[in-house]
Amino acid sequence: MSLIVFFKIFAVCLLGAMSPGPSMVVVINNAIFKGRFHGILTSLGHGIGIGMYALFAVLGVALIIKTNLFVFNVIKSLSIIFLIYLGVKSIIDKNKLDFDKKDLSGGFTSFLQGVSISLLNPKIFIWFVAIYSQFMSLENGKAFNLTLILTAGIVDTIWYVILTLLVTSNIALEFFKNKNVILKKFVGSVFIIIGALLLVELLI
pLDDT in tens, 26-78: 999 899 888 899 999 999 999 999 999 888 877 876 566 667 778 778 877 88
- ∠ Cα 154 155 158 (to 5°): 85
Which range is least confidently modeled, 83-97, 141-155, 189-203? Answer: 83-97
**Residues 120, 30: Cα–Cα separation, whole Å:** 17
pLDDT of residue 181: 66
> By three-state DSSP, how is residue 121 classified?
coil
Residue 100: in which H helix or E strand, if any? none
Residues 6+ apart with CB under 8 A from 181: none
Torsion of CA 183, 163, 109, 81, to 10 degrees: 60
Burial class from Cβ neighbours inside 10 Å (0-12, 13-18, 19+) for residue 7 reads exposed
Largest Cα–Cα distance in the chain? Answer: 56
Contact (CB, 8 A) for 143 and 22? no
pTM score = 0.78
Contact (CB, 8 A) for 150 and 63? no
Q: Which amino acid is present at 118?
A: S
Question: What does residue 27 show for φ and ψ, rounded to 5 degrees?
Answer: -65, -45
Of 46, 9, 34, the residue nearest 148 (C-alpha): 9
**pLDDT at position 121 over 70:** yes
Q: What percent of the chain has pLDDT over 70?
A: 83
* pLDDT level of residue 174 (50, 70, 90 thresholds): confident
- What is the C-alpha R_g of the chain? 18
DSSP states of 9-51: HHHHHHHHHHS-SHHHHHHHHHHHHH-HHHHHHHHHHHHHHHH
| C-beta atoms surrounding 17 within 10 Å | 22
Q: Three-class SS string for 126-180?
A: HHHHHCHHHHCCCCCCHHHHHHHHHHHHHHHHHHHHHHHHHHCCHHHHHHHHCCH
